[in-house]
Amino acid sequence: MLPPFQRFIDDNASSVWRLLRALCLADDVEDCFQETFLSAMKAYPKLTHARNLRAWVLTIAERKAMDSHRARKRRPQPVEQPPDRAARTRDGFDPAVWAAVRGLPTKQRQAVAHRFVADLTYRDISRVMGTTEEAARQNVREGLKKLRGTLS
Amino acid sequence: MSDLIKRAAKELGEPKEDVMERLMDRIAVEADIAYDEVDTPMGTFTVAATQRGLVALSFERDPEIVVDALARKLSPRVVHAPKRVDDIRRELDEYFEGKRKNFDLALDWSLVQGFNKKVLEATYRIPYGGVSTYSDMARSAGSPRAARAAGNALHNNPIPIVVPCHRVLHRDGGLGGYGGGLPMKKWLLTLEGALERE
């Protein structure tokens, strides 16, 4: 049985917020956050079971993040400046790491974010991304390798 | 490298209170059911409204139990949205202060059907300060001999106080039962002037 939507929000707000903070530009985080839960609420009564709700809402969040990047590309914008490696915001947020993650090819970015931000297991990542578990591991490995190049 | 990411992931923070408030403002508009707790002299109640109106008022102390039942019976899109039940809260406040004799709230009868609904609709027409009997309610619902079934319908009233099942008594004048306990039934009837103050 599906939990009341309020409990679904309470259980998942934090994971969704963290994923979006990693994947979106700062100005888009809150919009995507709202859009994620509004879309989830529309689809919610059609769900046929309550398994993997977190993975489900994280895929919606991820799609919203991608939409926000696409929308930015359509409106001409100053390109995102590579943040100063040393610059961290007061709350310890490290923009350089996430800019590098955003720069990864789609599958690697998804896999890395699901693994390290959302703490999903490889099994869940493979399910969310519609790949094999081995492919999920491979995407994380490749992603990390690229990040090593960008960030060191 | 994975350590660097894990460390950075620890600093992604949590959605702040104002972020959650803005989210809930938007969610509340579209949710099927809004609920909140309401404080009264008789304890804290949980009230719930659909887009059509007040659908449930519960004496249950744990709102989670009420919310689970609503999710199961009506729709899983149930959210905590205090603003959407402000009218209900205000009218209940006025009622408990003795300033309101009739509720002007829109009601949603979704949780009751058939005979039970007829009994409760008849109950809803008993005026403030008045009382009626289980067999009268059964008669109004079209089954004069079903007083016991009428009692059951009243016991399972999803919107007590507003649908005033406390105004239904035994024909011999005995108080009968009450979901919120007999002391509450007495208290309400005294507030309304149907019972003498002790």
Domains and CATH numbers, chain A: 1-79 (1.10.1740.10), 87-152 (1.10.10.10)
What is the rounded distance in angstroms from the CA atom of residue A36 to the CA atom of residue A20?
Answer: 10
Q: What is the pLDDT of residue B32?
A: 98
- Clarify whether B165 is annotated catalytic: yes
* Contact (Cβ atoms closer than 8 angstroms) between residue B115 and residue B146: yes
Q: What is the pLDDT of residue A82?
A: 60
Query: Helical H runs in B107-173?
Result: 114-124, 134-140, 147-155
What is the rounded distance in angstroms from the CA atom of residue B41 to the CA atom of residue A29?
Answer: 44
A91 at the B interface (CB within 8 A)? yes
Task: Write down the pTM of the prediction.
Answer: 0.89
Q: What is the pLDDT of residue A90?
A: 61
What is the rounded distance in angstroms from the CA atom of residue B17 to the CA atom of residue A117?
Answer: 21
> Which residues of A are less than 8 Å from B20 in CB distance?
13
User: How does pLDDT run across A106-149, given as a tens digit for each residue?
Assistant: 999 999 999 999 989 999 999 888 899 999 999 999 999 999 99
- Residue closest to A1 by CA, chosen among A51, A60, A55: A51
What domains are there in chain B, each with its CATH number?
Answer: 2-96 (3.30.160.70), 114-191 (1.10.10.10)
User: How does pLDDT run across B108-123, given as a tens digit for each residue?
Assistant: 999 999 999 999 999 9
pLDDT at A79 over 70: no
ipTM of the complex as predicted: 0.91
Give the chain B residue whose CA is nearest to the CA of A140: B2
Cβ B20–A37 below 8 Å, yes or no? no
> Which residues of B are less than 8 Å from A43 in CB distance?
none
pLDDT band at B28 (very low <50, low <70, confident <90, very high): very high
What is the rounded distance in angstroms from the CA atom of residue B53 to the CA atom of residue B145?
Answer: 32
Query: Helical H runs in B13-162?
Result: 17-30, 63-73, 86-96, 114-124, 134-140, 147-155
A61 at the B interface (CB within 8 A)? no
pLDDT band at A80 (very low <50, low <70, confident <90, very high): low
pLDDT band at A87 (very low <50, low <70, confident <90, very high): low
Cβ B78–A91 below 8 Å, yes or no? no
> Which residues of A are less than 8 Å from B85 in CB distance?
none
Cβ B13–A93 below 8 Å, yes or no? yes
pLDDT at B22 over 70: yes
pLDDT at A85 over 60: no
Cβ A14–B15 below 8 Å, yes or no? yes
